[in-house]
Amino acid sequence: MCGIVGCILKDNRKAAPVLLDCAKKLEYRGYDSVGLATYDEKIHVKKDEGYIESVDEALDLADMPGNYGIAHVRWASVGKPSKLNSHPHLDEEETVAVVHNGTITNYTQLKNKLIDEGHKFISQTDTEVISHLMEKFMDEELDLEHALRKSIGLMDGSYAIVAISRREPNKIVATRKDSPLVLGQKDGSYYLASDIPAMIKYTNRIMELNKKEIVVITKEKLEIHDEHDNIMSRTPIEIDWTPEMVEKNGYEHYMLKEIHDQPESVRRTLLQIDEIKKILDDIGEIEKICIVACGTSYHAALSGKYIIESEARIPTNVVLA
C-alpha cells in the first residue's frame, strides 16, 4: 500500500528533509517508487522508481527548496512501477500537484471525459485524473479546497489525497475516504501522514481526519471542514508513546498487531489490486488446497487447514517444507 506525507514548517525551514525522514517511516508498508513536491515560487517535483536512499542519492531530494510540500511512497496498483507513474502527479499546466493512496475505481470514465475536453495525460495511473480534475475546477474560479471537494464528488473508490497548487501558495489541502490520513501540529508547524509513526518524531499532538472531511492548512492555521463545508472543532490528542510503541499501534508485540491487521489487509488487497478481480470467478471452482510451510508457519497452516475445511468445506493438506 502507498504512503503519504505532507508538512508546512514555520521559520522557513526546508520541508524536503522532513518529508524524506517521515517517508522513511512508511517503508514498512512496501513501495517501489518515491517522490516529493515542494513549493518555492513554483512547484518543484522530483520522483523516480526505486528506494528512498537510491532516489535521494540520484536526484538530491533533500535539497529541494521550499518550507512546505508533499511526499509519497508508491506501491504500484494502477500502472506499472515507473518514473512517470510515480507520485506526485501534476496536470499539464502544472497548476496542482497531488499524492494519493487508494484506488479510484471509475478513473477510466473520468479520464476519457477529460481527454475529450482536451486534457493530455502522461501516466497510466488513476491519480493523475485527480490533478487534472482539480486544475479544471480551479480554471472555473474555484479555490483549491472547493476544487478538491468537487473532484471527490465525481470519484468512486477509496482515497487519501493531499494537494498543493501554485495558484494558492502556502496552502495544503487534503481529504480521505476508506484510506488512512492523520494530522499533527506542534510549535506552529503542521503535518499530515498515512499513519502516526511517520510523524511521531516531530509531533505527538495528533488529530484524525474523518471520512470526506477536508483539511485546509496554511502557515497560520489548520481548519477542518465536514462534507457540508461546516468548520469542525477538533482538539489534538497527545500521544505519549515512543516511536516503537506507535508502530505497534498499542499492541504488546508486532505479531499481535499483524494478526489484527489481517482483515484490513485483505480488504485493501481486494480493493486495490486489479489482478485479484481476474481470478475471483475461478476461486469458486477450487476443489483442493495445499499449504506449504515450515517452522511456526507450519503450525499456523495446521490451524488454517481446520478453518478452511470447516468453513469452506474444501479438502486441505499441509506439507512441511
The tens place of each residue's pLDDT in the chain, 321 residues long, gives 689 999 999 988 999 999 999 998 888 777 789 999 999 999 999 999 988 888 999 999 999 999 999 999 987 777 787 899 999 999 999 999 999 999 999 999 999 999 999 999 999 999 999 999 999 999 999 999 999 999 999 999 999 999 999 999 999 999 999 999 999 999 999 999 999 989 999 999 999 999 999 999 999 999 999 999 999 999 999 988 776 776 676 788 888 888 887 876 776 566 555 667 677 778 888 999 999 999 999 999 999 999 999 999 999 999 998
68-74/3-8 β-pairing: antiparallel
The whole-number pLDDT of residue 256 equals 87
The whole-number pLDDT of residue 80 equals 83
The whole-number pLDDT of residue 50 equals 87
Report d(CA 197, CA 203) in Å as an integer. 10
- Cell 499532538, located at residue: 205
The whole-number pLDDT of residue 104 equals 94
Look at residue 63 and give its three-state secondary structure.
Answer: helix
The whole-number pLDDT of residue 253 equals 83
Within 10 Å of residue 302's Cβ, how many Cβ atoms? 13
Which alpha helices (DSSP H) does 25-106 contain, by range? 52-59
Provide the phi-psi class of 187: left if phi over 0, else alpha when psi is between -120 and 50, else beta: left
Grid coordinates of 83: 518514473
Sign of the Cα torsion 101, 106, 109, 110 reads negative
Domains of the chain as residue ranges with CATH: 3-243 (3.60.20.10), 248-279 (no CATH), 286-321 (no CATH)
Grid coordinates of 23: 517517508
For residues 169-208, one letter each, b for 16 or more C-beta atoms within 10 angstroms of the residue's C-beta and e for the rest, the string is bebbbbbbbebbbbbbbeeebbbbbbbbbbbbebbbbbbe
